[in-house]
Amino acid sequence: MSSAQGSDRKFKVAVVGATGAVGAALLEILAERRFPARSVVALASERSAGSEVEYGRRKLVVQDLDQYDFAGTDIALFSAGGSTSAKYAPRAAAAGCYVVDNSSEFRYVEGIPLVVAEVNPEAIAQASEGRIIANPNCSTMQMLVALAPIHRQAGIERINVATYQSVSGAGRSAMEELGRQTAALLNFQTPQCERFPVQIAFNVIPQIDRFEDNGYTREEMKMVWETQKILDPQIRVNATAVRVPVFYGHAEAVHLETRDAISADQVRQLLAQAPGVELVDDREPGGYPTPVTHAAGADPVYVGRIREDLSHPKGLSMWIVADNIRKGAALNAIQIAELLVEHYL
Enzyme catalytic residues: 138, 250
Among 130, 60, 117, 49, CA closest to 89: 130
Residues 41-70 that bind ligand A2P (CB under 6 A): 44-45, 47-48, 65
For ligand A2P, the binding residue among 11, 13, 14, 17 (CB under 6 A) is 17
φ/ψ of 79, rounded to 5, equals -150, 70
Please report how close the Cβ of residue 54 comes to ligand A2P at its closest, in angstroms: 14
Nearest to ligand A2P by Cβ — which residue? 20
Residues 171-210 that bind ligand A2P (CB under 6 A): 171-173
Among 147, 140, 119, CA closest to 317: 147
Residues 65-94 that bind ligand A2P (CB under 6 A): 65, 80-81, 84
* H helix or E strand, kind and range, residue 103: none
Nearer to ligand A2P, 122 or 176 (CB): 176
For ligand A2P, the binding residue among 23, 113, 291, 328 (CB under 6 A) is 23
Among 336, 333, 329, 279, CA closest to 168: 329
Please report how close the Cβ of residue 171 comes to ligand A2P at its closest, in angstroms: 3
Q: Single out the segment in contact with ligand A2P by CB under 6 A; choices: 5-13, 18-26, 31-39, 182-190.
A: 18-26
Buried-state track 245-274, b at ≥16 Cβ within 10 A, e below 16: bbebbbbbebbbbbeeebebeebeebbeeb
Among 4, 66, 72, 59, CA closest to 36: 4
Please report how close the Cβ of residue 20 comes to ligand A2P at its closest, in angstroms: 2
Tell me the C-alpha distance between 115 and 129, whole Å: 16
Which positions lie near ligand A2P, rule CB under 6 A? 17-21, 23, 44-45, 47-48, 65, 80-81, 84, 171-173
